[in-house]
Structure 1
């Protein structure tokens, strides 16, 4: 699998060419992008999804990716490495007040169940919805 990244900016999604060779179809990418847009709009947080291999340790790699976001303190990163069977959710300092670890773990379990059934896009979409619901409105 080629590493790819799907991110969401406030006005326009950022597509990286390598995403088109990744594990999601164009239709699935559009579903994920819409889920990102809804999560951002309803929570006023910034949600991002990374799909690709993560360096060891995976948690540290996910935290480094999260730190590269425009406003890490106000952001949530879902990092998924299908090849390594790894899922990490990293939240910013201000996000943790609204989205505690327990809620992230519940969303991760839900996503992992979908991934195990072969539904990567559906797992991401439902995980984003669950995280946004838990974070609530500001």
Structure 2
């Protein structure tokens, strides 16, 4: 996918399937944002705008143009997804991005977050 090119339907579906699995199977809501991410603080503000559900949610914010990825956890989600896991997920996603697979990298990251949160919950 060329930079700036919108996701095709199959890419959106791939990401949505991963989000649904994280929520349904592991009880972890994951929000995904692809666009301009100026800083970690701007990603945290995006998460806060989700309102009451922000505490339980993990936000994956990806800015392909600036090659920035932020994984931000709400207060309750932080007990299930710590900084070490977020860093590992980010590394895995960026490896996929490096070979041109933006949607696949995002879906992989969302699946990894859910799987880890599921293990942490038990």
Is TM > 0.5 for Structure 1 vs Structure 2?
yes
Structure 2-normalised TM-score? 0.90
Which has the larger helix fraction?
Answer: 2
Match of 2:45 among 49, 53, 64: 64
Structure 1-normalised TM-score? 0.80
Aligned-partner SS, 1:88: strand
Task: Give the C-alpha shift of residue 45 in structure 1.
Answer: 2.2
Q: Distance in 1 between matches of 2:40 and 2:6?
A: 21
Structure 2 counterparts to residues 53-132 of structure 1, below 5 A? 53-55=36-38, 58-70=39-51, 71-132=53-114
The answer for unaligned runs of 5 or more in structure 2 is: none
List, as ranges, runs of 4+ consecutive aligned residues in structure 1 with deviation greater than 6 Å: none
Aligned-partner SS, 2:37: coil
Comparing both chains, which one has the higher relative contact order based on Cα–Cα distances under 8 Å and sequence gaps of 6 or more?
Answer: 2
Task: Give the C-alpha shift of residue 54 in structure 1.
Answer: 1.8
Which has the larger strand fraction?
Answer: 1
